[in-house]
Chain A
């Protein structure tokens, strides 16, 4: 009986992700239906003019999303070309060519790069990249497409790197050894055998990279120029779908607002398509088989009968060049990390003062005191909600999923899609559902609920991994003593996987500390200190956005960036420490 109850509880946690996805889709679509109806789908998608203020234009003429759609696509593919390729090459370098001693620190550095909040990238782009680009820009302004591409490349590189690294490492070692045994060089084995074998995983990595680029908001809003015109060149001011929403949502009403939400729908459709593609590519992992192995071996351009010891080998030059390219990309991503960190510390540390940190904050002078309080309140609310649901869902996925039934598959897909949903879409949904429909208004309550949704996939995934690592013999041992399933889960399995759950908590805290796009329209962007959950309040990242947005508080923005960076570093170090402890325990 108790077992049944436990099972149903875990089950309802698991299907929560499905409800979340459908809820987001439903409320976005439902709210934007008037826009689609009045403007017309064709006009909305392919209209080239976006001028909501022009009263004299008919709705069908002034709400055209094409400039935004094109801008989003351009910057995403640009970022894919630089950051995506760079990510794959960095992964290649890390797996095979990096000296053993620097492999672990390099991987940690790349992971660290992915933990830096987007607002920080945006700020860095605004004060460094844009300034540098203005030197070579024909118009004298560095804002625009190229700046976006550079920033987005830096942001998607770590994502692509870590996923393709996993994919390459999953290729059986015998592929590599087999190629070497045929006389291939290390480089040939990598580029001719291992990479083709990891193709589906790398494709998935690139697709997820595009997804991250398309959905990115706060990093590029500060460097894009934000004019709603058709993109014409690398220095053309652009406005992406995401920027469009953040720029105008604060004052939009009626049809204008619905058209903005329709922008979110377009974005969401794009993200879902990408994720379906990803799950398609991930599914056919099984094709790594012996037949493929043989075919790859044949493709190595090495002819055993032409051996001539006197002439130096001329085979595999291209691969050697590729190897150096991989090294260059790895060094570049590392340098960008170092530059960001050092720059923010140099500029920010001097401006951190007790008054800035804890002084009274109001519209006259903003300090970080509200940010500390709001962030802690937001994080504790979101964790209280998301942690039990996420852990329950992970337990259902691992402990009850013996038969690969459809619901389990659907839950996994929903969780994956949920993890790919851009922050701004969460923000939009939170605004529609929590603030308006449930009537919470701009409040920490609405913000915390929205954050709970954003961290749910992180918690599910990390917990799932730690549950999968629990040895089966422990489960058997417990069942053999006559323990029931629920008892086994709560008394034996969960205690063992606690370090993994703690990692999940820290990871999601990291995400929440840096979160801004999901919060601006849910918990609000205000300067004063909240006293309870029914009031609005700005988290760290939102505060930093407010500081940098107005141009008056640029020093305070630097200081906030430095404080945020310290938090991010502490979080990353604790994850690394926990991970190494986990590994030690597993190897016992």
Chain B
């Protein structure tokens, strides 16, 4: 195996309190510039919400944090993205990065395996084979995702038999099982009903104590309810970034104000 220039321990989080830091970040999809000169610092143990109308680049920015953009063929990136003080677009091991920066997607995407195997997939991938260790990781992850009691009797059943909301929480548990430091959530509740959405929002608030969460959402109230910081994007520009309370009570940017009051978007 090629020697990595950075080990997992190099993703240090407690010195600077900066979980993610970008400067002069530009992202291109072919000709289209999806992110224009964004410099943002995301602090540890906060929930940061990205809001803005469709196509404003918020999901794109989210995906640069764990390099999921690598899967998009024509995507080009300039500028610096630092996670835990490490420039992740330099010579690093993407696998290690993604282990540290987990992601939950818009639509629940459980694998066609049992509930247990879904949660154990990540740890197994990273080389944990011992049954007792896996058991405790699965218990811990499902417990944190607040669904242990719901599924403890049917861990061997297919994950496809769960409801949509349960599937999404399972995906969160699956992401937690590899013990990430940061959790990226790309509109995690947009495919869910209000009750499931409530469960997931409660979960986010709970997880905040141990994780740094970045959430992309179309739902203004959701951003106001759960986030500490909010960033507003429009057509690839970050127009405003600050404490959620300030943004929702007295936005400085006129477009941002019109967006959060529902006048456009």
Residues of A within 8 A of B (CB): 1, 402-403, 471, 473-484, 487, 491-492, 495-496, 588
Contact in complex: A473, B113 (CB < 8 Å): no
* Selected contact of A473 from candidates B2, B105, B175, B178, CB within 8 Å: B105
Contact in complex: A402, B125 (CB < 8 Å): no
7 smallest CB-CB distances across A and B, nearest first, come from A482-B99, A473-B109, A480-B103, A482-B98, A481-B122, A477-B109, A483-B125
Residues of A within 8 A of B178 (CB): 481-482
In the complex with contacts A1-B1, A402-B73, A483-B122 CB distance below 8 A: yes
**Most chain B beta-carbon neighbours within 10 Å: one of A403, A483, A484:** A483
Residues of B within 8 A of A481 (CB): 98-99, 102, 121-122, 125, 174-175, 178
Give the size range of B's interface with the partner.
Answer: 20 to 34
Residues of A within 8 A of B71 (CB): 475-476, 479
Residues of B within 8 A of A475 (CB): 71
Q: Nearest chain A CB to B69's CB is how many angstroms away? A: 11
Since A473-B105, A482-B125 are in contact, a sample of 16 more A-B pairs with Cβ atoms closer than 8 Å, ordered by chain A residue number, is A471-B109, A474-B111, A476-B103, A476-B105, A480-B175, A481-B98, A481-B121, A481-B122, A481-B175, A482-B97, A482-B98, A483-B95, A492-B111, A492-B121, A496-B111, A588-B160
* Whole-angstrom CA separation of A480 from B121 in the bound complex: 12
Subset of 18 A-B contacts with CB under 8 Å: A1-B2, A402-B73, A473-B105, A473-B109, A476-B68, A476-B71, A477-B105, A477-B109, A477-B111, A477-B171, A478-B125, A480-B102, A481-B175, A481-B178, A483-B122, A484-B125, A492-B111, A588-B160
In the complex with contacts A1-B1, A487-B125, A491-B121, A482-B109 CB distance below 8 A: no
Is there a chain A Cβ closer than 8 Å to B255's Cβ? Answer: no
Is there a chain A Cβ closer than 8 Å to B96's Cβ? Answer: yes
Residues of A within 8 A of B109 (CB): 471, 473-474, 476-477
Is there a chain A Cβ closer than 8 Å to B112's Cβ? Answer: yes
- Overall SS of chain A's interface: helix
- CB contacts under 8 Å to A, within B84-104, are 95-99, 102-103
* Whole-angstrom CA separation of A495 from B95 in the bound complex: 22
**CB-based nearest A residue for B123:** A481
Residues of B within 8 A of A479 (CB): 68, 71, 98
* Whole-angstrom CA separation of A480 from B175 in the bound complex: 8
**Most chain B beta-carbon neighbours within 10 Å: one of A476, A480, A483:** A480
* Whole-angstrom CA separation of A476 from B97 in the bound complex: 15
**CB-based nearest A residue for B110:** A477
Contact in complex: A484, B95 (CB < 8 Å): yes
* Whole-angstrom CA separation of A474 from B1 in the bound complex: 26
Is there a chain A Cβ closer than 8 Å to B36's Cβ? Answer: no
* Whole-angstrom CA separation of A476 from B68 in the bound complex: 8
* Whole-angstrom CA separation of A479 from B171 in the bound complex: 13
Contact in complex: A478, B121 (CB < 8 Å): yes
**CB-based nearest B residue for A471:** B109
* Selected contact of B107 from candidates A402, A473, A483, CB within 8 Å: A473
Residues of B within 8 A of A (CB): 1-2, 66, 68, 71, 73, 95-99, 102-103, 105, 107, 109-113, 121-122, 125-126, 160, 171, 174-175, 178
Contact in complex: B175, A482 (CB < 8 Å): no
Contact in complex: A480, B98 (CB < 8 Å): yes
Residues of B within 8 A of A403 (CB): 73
**CB-based nearest B residue for A488:** B125
Q: Nearest chain B CB to A488's CB is how many angstroms away? A: 9
**Most chain A beta-carbon neighbours within 10 Å: one of B99, B122, B125, B178:** B125
* Whole-angstrom CA separation of A176 from B98 in the bound complex: 48
Q: Nearest chain A CB to B84's CB is how many angstroms away? A: 15
Residues of B within 8 A of A483 (CB): 95, 121-122, 125
Q: Nearest chain B CB to A357's CB is how many angstroms away? A: 41
* Whole-angstrom CA separation of A134 from B263 in the bound complex: 85
* Whole-angstrom CA separation of A482 from B174 in the bound complex: 12
* Whole-angstrom CA separation of A484 from B110 in the bound complex: 17
* Whole-angstrom CA separation of A483 from B126 in the bound complex: 8
Residues of B within 8 A of A478 (CB): 111, 121, 125
Residues of B within 8 A of A484 (CB): 95, 125
**Most chain B beta-carbon neighbours within 10 Å: one of A471, A478, A481:** A481
Contact in complex: A496, B105 (CB < 8 Å): no
Residues of B within 8 A of A496 (CB): 111-112
In the complex with contacts A473-B107, A491-B121, A482-B112 CB distance below 8 A: no
* Whole-angstrom CA separation of A191 from B135 in the bound complex: 63
Q: Nearest chain A CB to B10's CB is how many angstroms away? A: 16
Q: Nearest chain B CB to A550's CB is how many angstroms away? A: 53
Residues of A within 8 A of B66 (CB): 480
Contact in complex: B98, A495 (CB < 8 Å): no
Residues of B within 8 A of A477 (CB): 105, 109-111, 171, 174
Q: Nearest chain B CB to A411's CB is how many angstroms away? A: 19
* Whole-angstrom CA separation of A403 from B174 in the bound complex: 31
* Whole-angstrom CA separation of A491 from B2 in the bound complex: 23
* Whole-angstrom CA separation of A541 from B89 in the bound complex: 60
* Selected contact of B122 from candidates A1, A473, A482, A495, CB within 8 Å: A482
Q: Nearest chain B CB to A462's CB is how many angstroms away? A: 19
Q: Nearest chain A CB to B99's CB is how many angstroms away? A: 4
Residues of A within 8 A of B121 (CB): 478, 481, 483, 491-492
**CB-based nearest B residue for A588:** B160
**Most chain B beta-carbon neighbours within 10 Å: one of A477, A484, A495:** A477
Q: Nearest chain B CB to A480's CB is how many angstroms away? A: 4
Residues of A within 8 A of B73 (CB): 402-403
In the complex with contacts A402-B73, A473-B105, A588-B160, A482-B96 CB distance below 8 A: yes
Q: Nearest chain A CB to B50's CB is how many angstroms away? A: 17
**CB-based nearest A residue for B96:** A482
Q: Nearest chain A CB to B173's CB is how many angstroms away? A: 12
Q: Nearest chain B CB to A279's CB is how many angstroms away? A: 24
Q: Nearest chain A CB to B76's CB is how many angstroms away? A: 14
Residues of A within 8 A of B95 (CB): 482-484
Q: Nearest chain B CB to A473's CB is how many angstroms away? A: 4
Q: Nearest chain B CB to A143's CB is how many angstroms away? A: 56
Residues of A within 8 A of B1 (CB): 1
Q: Nearest chain B CB to A400's CB is how many angstroms away? A: 12
Residues of B within 8 A of A476 (CB): 68, 71, 103, 105, 109
Residues of B within 8 A of A471 (CB): 109
* Whole-angstrom CA separation of A79 from B68 in the bound complex: 53
Residues of B within 8 A of A474 (CB): 109, 111
**CB-based nearest A residue for B174:** A481
Q: Nearest chain A CB to B171's CB is how many angstroms away? A: 7
Q: Nearest chain B CB to A540's CB is how many angstroms away? A: 37
Residues of B within 8 A of A492 (CB): 111, 121
Q: Nearest chain A CB to B126's CB is how many angstroms away? A: 7
In the complex with contacts A1-B1, A403-B73, A480-B111 CB distance below 8 A: no
* Whole-angstrom CA separation of A192 from B101 in the bound complex: 56
* Whole-angstrom CA separation of A116 from B71 in the bound complex: 44
**CB-based nearest A residue for B108:** A473
Residues of A within 8 A of B110 (CB): 477
* Whole-angstrom CA separation of A588 from B171 in the bound complex: 18
**CB-based nearest A residue for B113:** A495
* Whole-angstrom CA separation of A476 from B175 in the bound complex: 12
Residues of A within 8 A of B160 (CB): 588
* Selected contact of B126 from candidates A1, A482, A491, CB within 8 Å: A482
Q: Nearest chain A CB to B66's CB is how many angstroms away? A: 6
* Whole-angstrom CA separation of A487 from B95 in the bound complex: 11
* Whole-angstrom CA separation of A588 from B122 in the bound complex: 25
